[in-house]
Structure 1
């Protein structure tokens, strides 16, 4: 259940006309009131009257809702509060009486009309679809005082929604876990559709930066990998000591329309854990000042050997994650994040820059593995071992034959089992969005391991983008959580 609090408004009548109207795409069906501020009032008496011309007269209902505002001492400039409450598509269809109870609980939870307060604000709930209602209220109580809600009243609505999900047996959305990607804006999605791109630049850059971070052991290697991948890199330095404090990346062919300059994204605009300070924590301090060993010999047999070693390291990591689900979480987050790096480099070795099924599974896996608020756990010996395996896979280059492809499939299957353990861990932590991403990743990896989609290197080709689905991203208002995000 997702409550969405809209921006404050001025005109009750205009909002009611929209809710009772056909909608933007004729999606409003059978609009009607299901609840109001006074349980003893007849809803039929409050319904806007249908005129001879087929139009409705909203004046009486608008007057009743605005009456406290007109009589108030210091009414707000924007007195109209509007909240929609929507169920998931898989939920059962609720009756009008059930939606009425939900509306009463929501206005009480938001602090507008506490239970038993007969002098609270006036409000109505309109239903014009099977899966959601709209609650319209005016922010002046019937005793003339104004209700000054905090800008975070949506948190109260979210808390109420979690309680109602349990009461009515609806799909549990779970509280926000602050682990979602930085999704593209609507303008980015529209531009990508016009250009015929398979993903937005933000999504493309996040995938490349995540792979480079997994393949590198230091920030110098990180920037070198990005530049060799054709990514434009701009460094930010401190004006005091000249130290590098951040970075931004851009794709060469993506430029602004006005002055044809590259469009740069900082690491934090791609994902919360891709800022330079957090990447430094991920890599850890290198205690050994000696130079790194030279690049290993690359051939098909060596590549298969590296993949088998990574499979063994993943098998050793599984008990650690399972113990974390049972309560022992020491070093678990660092291990989980390192396995996401391993899958990122495997996806690159299998599919290159083409955002194929393994890349998409890695994207879900990365979301499931991310720490809350982008926090990065200090590295452990096990996480450093997994990251060294990830770097070795990247150094070995693209998968190209039967022997290394078979070893890759074994690793994919083991990562699917690891995703199951991560799902159990996140469910135990009540981080339900991440648990769902882990389940999606596990199912996708099993399909690949079963041979439905083979992880052998494919030719990157331009593919048509379905309308409005570039990268699967959608823009939401700041502070307004969405289902699964």
Structure 2
């Protein structure tokens, strides 16, 4: 089930006339009320009567809904709040009665703050049904006592309340509330421009992947900026207005992505992902352990590096299971470091040719990210994981059977670690992240099981959790 919040309006009568009308394609069948505000009286008395011409007379219901608005103190211009609750396709085979729809609507509206008891002079609202799979809710945003309920942040509140309704009524499709761990989606203008210029991904998506790779391989901001420039990324540093020697932020651009005037299109780190700002990256790096300046790289060294990383990944999964309840900050730092190791491994095995292994870090990055872009201070286990991430990055591309087998063993261990993160996020009720961890584990097992080759053609599909140029029209919020 999902609730869509529509644009607010100023004409109650026009909306009611549409809802009780035939619809745009004669799709409205048997429109009738299923619930109304506490104290409204009988639904039969509220139901619009049928006139001699066969149309509904909605004047009485319109007057009742508008009454608090007319008597209110400085009511808003757009006081009509409209939402719809709709079943998912897999739930539409169920026969839901009017009383069940009324219960679901009342529960959702009570949690959001629209429905109140008669003792609390709240908003006037109705819930009407003209199809088997959805109901419409209409409310006026002035309370009985004359105060305005501005319904701020109504959409995320409705999503959260609808999720609770779906759980209570045992519906199959349950959309968890937003946790703000997703990547920043490209604007539709970016998607259209990328399509016109023949790009497989938008510059924002491509930059985020290159920056993530540099973050995983770097241990300090100097090394980070060096790796970005070596990857062909234009870097612009932002310096303090009081101390020119102090760097306070950065922005990146692709050389080929320019405006109509020929200027590069720069994106700040925070515009790529909520945890990619320079202050958060500094906190993420912390004080790195000493690293070899120029390690000797050979096949035996790659094998040993992969084996060391596999041991650390196994120990990290054990740490997450042990400390999930007692030390959540330590567990969070370990999960973020695991995302770095997975990123470095994907590029070691597939390079810039984006194969199926690249899907895993792209979705696991969300599973590992903390809520609201927060970054935890590094821990000993997290720093050990980051050291392995840098070591794998320094080892270069996998080139033989021995190091490929060791790398596949590491892939298997990382799949188990992703399973552990999925269990952690499920226990924390962070279900979007649990789903991302599950997708990462599935992608890793596809590669480790040999059902997918480690390298494919350069142009591959981007996972559904991230927008693409081919199907990346950004979904509206229903506002």
| TM-score over 0.5 (shorter chain) | yes
Q: 1:460: Cα distance to partner?
A: 2.0
Tell me: CA distance 1:446–1:248, structure 2 relative to 1, closer, same or farther (3 Å). same
Cα drift, residue 234 of structure 1: 0.7
Q: Distance in 1 between matches of 2:122 and 2:192?
A: 44
Say whether residues 1:409 and 2:408 are aligned partners.
yes
Secondary structure in 1 matching 2:235: strand
CA–CA separation in structure 1 for the residues paired with 2:341 and 2:463: 28
CA distance, structure 1, for counterparts of residue 181 and residue 89 of structure 2: 23
Asked whether the equivalents of residues 368 and 434 of structure 1 are also in contact (C-alpha less than 8 Å), the reply is yes
Which residue is equivalent to 1:378?
377
Cα 1:397–1:287 change in 2 (3 A) is closer
Hey, what does 1:253 align to over in structure 2? 256
State how far apart, in whole Å, the 1-side matches of 2:283 and 2:26 are: 49
Deviation of 1:462 (Å): 7.6
Please report how far the alpha carbon of residue 406 of structure 1 lies from its aligned counterpart in structure 2 after TM superposition.
2.1
Number of aligned residue pairs: give it: 470
Which residues of structure 2 form unaligned runs of 5+?
none
Instruction: Report the counterpart of residue 219 of structure 1 in structure 2.
Output: 221
How far off its partner does 1:101 sit?
Answer: 1.7
Q: Does 1:236 align with 2:238?
A: yes
Deviation string 1:55-94 (CA, Å, 9 cap, x unpaired) is 8776665455334434545432111112233444444644
2:419 aligns with 420
Q: Is the 8 A contact 2:71 2:146 kept in 1?
A: no
Q: What is the TM-score when the length of structure 2 is the normalising length?
A: 0.86
CA shift, 1:127, in A, is: 4.0
Residue aligning to 1:317: 316
* 1: CA distance, partners of 2:470 / 2:132: 29
**Secondary structure at the counterpart of residue 447 of structure 1:** helix
Q: Is the 8 A contact 1:183 1:474 kept in 2?
A: no
Tell whether the 8 Å contact from 1:48 to 1:61 is kept in structure 2 after alignment: no
Q: Which residue of 2 aligns with 1:32?
A: 31
Give the equivalent residue in structure 2 for 1:439: 438
Contact 2:47 2:61 in 1 (8 A): no
> Equivalent residue for 1:166?
167
CA drift of 1:440 comes to 1.4
Q: How does 1:49-198 map to 2 (within 5 A)?
A: 61-72=61-72, 74-91=74-91, 93=94, 94-116=96-118, 120-127=122-129, 131-141=133-143, 143=144, 145-154=146-155, 156-158=157-159, 160-170=161-171, 171-198=173-200
Q: Deviations over 1:346-387 (max 9, x none)?
A: 112223334432222211111011112212222222211211
Q: Does the aligned pair in 2 maintain the 1:197–1:462 contact within 8 Å?
A: no
1:463 Cα deviation after fit = 7.5
- TM-superposed CA distance for 1:34, in Å, is 4.2
| CA offsets 1:243-287 (integer angstroms, 9 cap, x no match) | 111001111111123x22111111011111111111111111257
Aligned match of 1:357: 356
Q: Alpha-carbon deviations, 1:183-229, whole Å to 9, x = none?
A: 22222223333334322221111111111000111111111111111
Q: CA deviation at 1:236?
A: 0.3
The equivalences for 1:197-212 within 5 A come to 197-212=199-214
CA–CA separation in structure 1 for the residues paired with 2:423 and 2:27: 40
**Cα pair 1:48 1:57 within 8 Å, conserved:** yes
CA deviation digits over 1:288-326, x for unaligned, max 9?
A: 6xxx53332333443233222211211121110111335
Over the aligned positions, Cα root-mean-square deviation in angstroms equals 3.4
Distance in 2, Cα, partners of 1:364 & 1:460: 19
**Alignment gaps of 5+ in structure 1:** none
